[in-house]
Structure 1
Amino acid sequence: MRLSKSEKAFNILNLIFMIFFVAIIALPLLNILALSFNDANDSLRGGIYFWPRQFSVESYKTVFENQAIYLAFGVSVLKTVVGVVLHTFVTAISAYALTREDLVGRKFYTTLGILAMFVSGGLIPTFLVFKAYGLLNNFWVYILPVLFSFYDVIIMMNFFKGIPRSLEESAMIDGAKPFTIFFKIIIPLSMPVIATIALYHGVYQWNDYMTANIFVDNEKLFPLQQLLYRVIAQNISPAAQTGAAVARKTTSQSLQLATMVITTIPVVIVYPFLQKYFVNGLTLGAVKE
């Protein structure tokens, strides 16, 4: 099919915009990679943009020599895995319940959830509540406060509404109980939206540093992002404290860049395997027939 002049013009403008948008994102990342793999002292001369001038991995060696990076990595992985599993389960079972017309008070719960999306208790009341429940300096402070998100519930509700009710009715006739229907029928049919919610929450858990910054003082519970925050914002490097930075002639900037790359790599590796579910999970169930 031949395209009209307006369609060709739109495609050209769209391509130019996408190239510009990708460049805005990719070029800073390439610059960070180049500087992190360049000799630290040579980087101080400037003039390095997208390729190292004097290749060196001393900054990465210095970062990996300290045990803090491994402990923080373990905390980040654990809180991401546990958070994703529990959050996805709670979201799915809540969304399934709210799509049942026979649920008593369904409209009330839905309205209450929507209001909670726009009304926050504030930082100080939240801090006092966490303190009262013993969540300060507790691993579960990463999990429990974000266990339920009504925004994710709405996404999953829209998907569940697109599943034919006749499938559940047939299962009920065969004697299936609600939990059997949920786990044997609803969940297998909902993998695209489940992957979407898992991706959303997984990225949030991995990138979250504010929770640790406010509610956690124990360095053994610091995730990678909090460690990166201390390296960048407070200029505190665990490696520098051991004197390794001086021995290897690294700089605070080179350690910062190396830590940034290390904390970003896991998301970059995982995202391509889940991105195919991302758009489908958001759009499937949006159109009803």
Structure 2
Amino acid sequence: MKRSASDKTLSIFIYAVLGILGFAAFYPFWNAAVISFNSGADTMKGGITFWPRSFSLENYEVVFRDERLVNGFVISVLRTAVGTIGSILATSVFAYGMTRRELIGKKFYMIACIVTMYFSGGLVPSYLLIRELGLMDTFWVMVIPGMVSVWNMIVFRAFFQGMPSGLEESAKIDGSSNWGVLFRIILPLSGPVIATLSLFTAVYHWNDWFAPSIYISNVDLLPIQTKLQQILSSNIMNEQMARMDSSASSHLNRMRSVTTQSLSMATMMVATVPILCVYPFVQKYFVKGVLVGSLKE
């Protein structure tokens, strides 16, 4: 089918706008990667855009040589793995229970869950609750409070309700219990929604830095994102001190090949690249998982 001149013009305009938006979204990440591979002293001069002007791996050497950052990376990996698996299991079991017709008070439970999506107790009550539960300064304070997500439960529930009822009835005739139906039939058929929600949950656990900074004072338990935030805050303080004593700071920066800014960018790359590598493997499940879960209430 032959396209008119107006259609071609519109297509060119759309692709141009999408290209500009794509570039605007990708360039900050690319520039951060370039700075991380550039000498810190050279970066202080400015003008680093698309390519390293003075290529150097010293920033990454400092990152991987620092036991605190390596330990933070391990904590982040453990938290993401344990938190994602625990959250998906707990939320799917909760959602399956909410689909049971014989559940007494199901509407009340649903309303109570939805209310928590719009209203929370606030930071101070949450802090007091975490303290009374004995979760302060423990690894589990990063896992247990976010184990059940109401939004994920609603998506799971809608997905489960969209499955043929004959599957469950056949399993019950064969003598299967509710647990058997869930783990042997329902969850194996829920691959798209599990993959989609697992990625969303993993991204949350990987990127969260605020909760550990509030509930954890033990440096050995801090994830890499919290330590990255501390490095960025330190960078801001150093810049403010540099403005107060420009002559001393300029001399110090000339003597250093690794600066706080370059180290921050290197740490940011180490913290960001692993979770980005997960996207290509679950991208095909995004549309199918989210849309199928939203077709039926």
TM-score exceeds 0.5: yes
**TM-score normalised according to structure 1 size:** 0.91
If the length of structure 2 is used for normalisation, what is the TM-score?
0.89
- Specify the alignment match of 1:121 in structure 2: 121
Tell me which residue corresponds to 2:258: 250
Instruction: Note the C-alpha offset of 1:248.
Output: 6.4
Whole-angstrom distance in 2 between the partners of 1:281 and 1:264:
24
1:281 matched residue in structure 2: 289
Distance (whole Å) between structure 1 residues aligned to residue 140 and residue 31 of structure 2 = 37
The CA distance in 2 between the partners of 1:173 and 1:247, in whole Å, is 77
Instruction: Indicate yes or no: 2:170 matched with 1:161.
Output: no
CA shift in 2, pair 1:39/1:274, >3 Å: same
Partner of 1:144: 144
Q: Distance in 2 between the 1:108 and 1:13 partners?
A: 51
Which of 260, 271, 287 pairs up with 1:263? 271
2:158–2:295 Cα contact (<8 Å) kept? no
Deviation at 1:69, TM superposition (A): 1.4
The alpha-carbon distance between structure 1 residues 190 and 3, as it changes in their structure 2 partners (threshold 3 A), is: farther
- Matched AA of 2:139: F
Q: Tell me how far apart the structure 1 counterparts of residues 152 and 164 of structure 2 sit (CA, whole Å).
A: 21
Q: Answer yes or no: is 1:41 the counterpart of 2:41.
A: yes
C-alpha distance in structure 1 between counterparts of 2:69 and 2:254, whole Å: 18
Q: Partners of 2:219 and 2:254 in 1: how far apart?
A: 23
Determine if the alignment matches structure 1 residue 95 to structure 2 residue 95.
yes
User: 1:234: how far off?
Assistant: 2.9
Q: Which runs of structure 2 are paired with 1:1-289 in the superposition (5 Å)?
A: 1=1, 11-235=11-235, 249-287=257-295
Closer, same or farther in 2 for the Cα pair 1:248/1:128, shift >3 Å? same
2:117 is paired with a residue whose SS is helix
Alpha-carbon distance, 1:215 to partner: 0.9
RMSD: 2.1
Deviations 1:187-242 (A, max 9, x none): 11101101111111100000000011111110000000011011001349xxxxxx
Q: CA deviation at 1:277?
A: 1.3
In structure 1, C-alpha distance between the alignment counterparts of 2:127 and 2:263, rounded to whole Å: 32
Kept after mapping to 2: 8 A contact 1:58/1:248: no
CA distances 1:61-110 after superposition (whole Å, capped 9, x unpaired): 11111111111011101111110011000111111111122211111111
Match of 1:240 in 2: none
| Deviation digits for residues 17-72 of structure 1 (CA, Å, limit 9, x no counterpart) | 32122111111111111111112111122111010111111111111111111110
Work out the CA distance in 2 between the residues paired with 1:90 and 1:247. Answer: 53
Between the two proteins, what is the percent identity of the paired residues?
41
CA contact (8 A) 2:37 2:59 kept: yes
Amino acid in the other structure paired with 1:128: L
Closer, same or farther: CA 101–260 of 1 in aligned 2, 3 Å = same
**Quick one: which amino acid aligns to residue 222 of structure 1?**
L
Contact kept in structure 1, 2:193 and 2:293, CA below 8 Å? no
Question: 1:8 and 1:173 mapped to 2: Cα distance?
Answer: 60
Distance 1:174 1:136, change over 3 A: same
Equivalenced residue count is: 281
Going from structure 1 to structure 2, the CA distance change for 1:254 and 1:178 (only over 3 Å counts) comes to same
Superposed displacement of residue 127, structure 1: 0.7
**In structure 2, C-alpha distance between the alignment counterparts of 1:120 and 1:209, rounded to whole Å:** 19
Contact 2:155 2:294 in 1 (8 A): no
Counterpart of 1:231, as a letter, is I
Structure 1 range deviating more: 192-201 or 15-24: 15-24
Matched residues in 2 for 1:206 and 1:131: separation?
23
**Secondary structure at the counterpart of residue 146 of structure 1:** coil
Q: Within 2, Cα distance between the matches of 1:16 and 1:116?
A: 42
Structure 2 unmatched runs, 5+ = 237-252
Measure, in 1, the Cα distance between the counterparts of 2:295 and 2:52: 50
Q: Secondary structure at the match of 1:117?
A: helix
Query: How big is the shift at 1:11?
Result: 4.0
CA distance in 1, matches of 2:111, 2:280: 36
